[in-house]
Amino acid sequence: MSDVTQIELSNINKHYGSFHALKDINLSIPKGQFVALVGPSGCGKSTLLRSIAGLESISSGSMSIAGEVVNNLPPRKRDVAMVFQSYALYPHMTVLNNLTYSLRIKGANMKQANKAAEKIAKTIGLSDLLSRYPRELSGGQRQRVAMGRAIIRDPKAFLFDEPLSNLDASLRVHMRKEIRALHDRLGATSVYVTHDQIEAMTMADHVVVLCEGEIVQQGSPLDLYDTPANKFVAGFIGSPAMNFVDGVICEDGKSVQLNFDHPQKIALNRKLPAGQKVEAGMRPEHLTISNNAANLSAKIAMTEATGPITYYTTDTTPELTLIQQGRGTVSTGDEIGLTIKPEHIYLFDKDTGLVL
Amino acid sequence: MRALFSSLRDGKGFDISLIAIAMVFLILFSGAPLVYNAIMSFQEVDIFNLGTFIRPWVGLDNYRSLFADPSTLPIFWNTVVFVFSSIAGQFIVGFGLALFFTLKFPGAAYLRGLFLVSWVMPGLVVGAIWNWILSGDFGILNHFLKSVGFISENIFWRSDINYSLWAVIIANIWLGTAFNMILLSVGLAAIPRDVYEAAELDGATAIQRFRTITLPMMRATIGAVVSLGLIFTLQQFDLFAAITSGGPANSSNVAQYKAWEMSFREYDFARGATISVLMIVVVMIASVIYVRSTKQEVRG
């Protein structure tokens, strides 16, 4: 990774009629970085990606790729490659012709184009499939062809639009690694759109969280995990998700009353104005089950054992999700105590959702 | 008896009877007349033995005398010109309109629907309207061509032997364009949007996308449209009856109109049937192409 900026977005806005799809997007992507755009459906992440590709126009702002302003360039002149969710292979062409399409369009001679395609096919494991048509391929193979078609052009950036969402779970995990490995080998600059935060966390160097057309936070995956800027990011990143409980800061300002069906008080490591309404967030792995000197008490309502990890749900309202490594030490119906370190309690403003 | 009824109600008998109804209908009203027509082309038919089935067998005599007639070959040539020009015109204008209506502009759907008007109108009415448009003295077409300076003298479209066939072709192109447009629109709509986007990102210009994506992916549709066009054009009768009646001096006469003239004007049913048999052969070839092209549809 170098310091050279490959893609620079400044103050990008996009309106569809009265709908404000992208709001003041500022994003700078260094050459060689793998950036994930993540957010719930309708957050604008695909629109942003398609704007970079030039398939959508932007209403205002400036966009440059490798130092060149591309606002008014059509997609074919932007020199970026895109892998579509549906793969968008050319159904009437063989795998070989799918791979060589971009070269043939530019007037490269057939022999060289085919040679290049064979080389690419070897690196991504398509050599035996070159004469097949897309309809004769499995989902995973189509995915590879789509990637090969992007790689062969040696573009300035790779754009991925939820490329793994049509694959089954085990293949998805496998392709995740393969795409990341390919990115590293090519030294490429990649922008990857996904609604799956696990994909974003595991693949990307830099994660951009979008919500309702706005960037709510960006940073390295673990930064977002450890220091979420607001309740949305805290709840979106992490699986199982963070537990949230409504609360009020107590008279002393150094503890918070959590409004379970039976309110419980818990100490904080900082001082906040008494009476402030908050939402407290606690990650499942930070809640430890212990019977002595517990901060909270609850009863196990449900146990889900997966082997390496056991998940519990408490009978409190709102309920809490807990995890334990290995086989569980408690079981459904048990009364338990929970401890959590004060520094692991996240507090969010009840009205704005911002971290306190 | 009960077994027969229950089989008819919910067994194989039901399936067979459903097929049988359609088959009987087809054989009675399509197959039998076709065979009867073919047999008639090998017989001597006159006004006296018209009511009988058993007539003198003359082998290929009808075919020989048909081709010995000096008016036959020009009429077949007219048919070829009529079919190819009509299909070419209908296809090019229809494809152009279909592409135009893929653009999303306000009112596109209504405007496209308006084109179907030509489909709703009976051929004879279309012919009558085109008679006015093509009229030599007061026709709007001549007026238009003169205004823009293409011609200086009025063209007598329907009575000039150099133009009479083209008069019918122009009307037929207008008549068939909507059908071509609708079928081609459906074909265009079936091409996924993202395939075009992928091609655009791969560097293809609009013309390259049309040549490398649209045309190859439309092959099945184009095959179907052209072969159906061939069949419809060979059936076109009303326009000839309404506009030129095949005249003047057979200059706009075509096989299908000639067959009717032979049979129902000159009561030479044998030779009328002979022309029909030759046309059936052509239509059958077109049908095979049509069925094949719809079978080979390429869809990702």
- Asked if residue A238 belongs to a domain, the reply is no
**pLDDT attached to residue B118:** 80
Last residue of a domain, which of A199, A232, A265? Answer: A232
**pLDDT attached to residue B296:** 59
Give the residues across from A10 on adjacent strands.
Answer: A62
- Tell me, what DSSP letter sits at residue A354? B
Asked if the model's pLDDT at residue B298 lies above 70, the reply is no
What confidence tier does A231 reach under pLDDT thresholds 50, 70, 90? very high
Domain that holds residue A150: 5-232
For residues A198 and A269, membership in a common domain is answered with no
Domain that holds residue B244: 60-295
3-class DSSP state for residue B105? coil
Q: How many structural domains comprise chain A?
A: 2
For residues A292 and A183, membership in a common domain is answered with no
**pLDDT attached to residue A133:** 93
Asked if the model's pLDDT at residue B92 lies above 50, the reply is yes
Which residues in chain A have Cβ-Cβ distances shorter than 8 Å to B202? 76, 81, 101-102, 105, 149, 153
Q: Closest by alpha carbon to B159, among B173, B142, B145, B176?
A: B142
**pLDDT attached to residue B54:** 83
ipTM: 0.84
Nearest to A88 among B197, B212, B217 (CB): B197
For residues A146 and A105, membership in a common domain is answered with yes
What is the rounded distance in angstroms from the CA atom of residue A310 to the CA atom of residue A324? 5
- For residue A261, the domain's CATH number is 2.40.50.100
For residues A159 and A281, membership in a common domain is answered with no
How does pLDDT run across B194-207, given as a tens digit for each residue? 999 999 999 999 99
Above pLDDT 70, what percent of chain B?
98
How does pLDDT run across A170-208, given as a tens digit for each residue? 888 988 998 999 899 888 899 999 999 999 999 999 999
Asked if the model's pLDDT at residue B300 lies above 50, the reply is no
- Asked if residue A33 belongs to a domain, the reply is yes
- For residue A79, the domain's CATH number is 3.40.50.300
- Range A223-237 average pLDDT: 93
Q: Among A57, A78, A92, pick the best mutation site for testing chain B contact (most B Cβ within 10 A).
A: A92
- Asked if residue A237 belongs to a domain, the reply is no
How does pLDDT run across A271-324, given as a tens digit for each residue? 889 989 999 999 999 999 987 778 888 999 999 999 999 999 999 989 999 999
- Tell me, what DSSP letter sits at residue A286? G
What is the rounded distance in angstroms from the CA atom of residue B250 to the CA atom of residue B69? 13
Average predicted confidence (pLDDT) for chain B = 87
CA B3 from chain centre, in angstroms, equals 48
**pLDDT attached to residue B299:** 46
3-class DSSP state for residue A259? coil
Interface of B with A (CB under 8 A): 192, 194-195, 197-205, 208, 212-213, 216-217, 219, 298-300
**pLDDT attached to residue B297:** 54
- Asked if residue A222 belongs to a domain, the reply is yes
Above pLDDT 70, what percent of chain A?
99
- Asked if residue B80 belongs to a domain, the reply is yes
One-letter amino acid identity for B219? Answer: R
Please give the C-alpha separations between residue A330 and each of A288, A339, B241, B266, in angstroms, as whole numbers.
12, 15, 94, 104
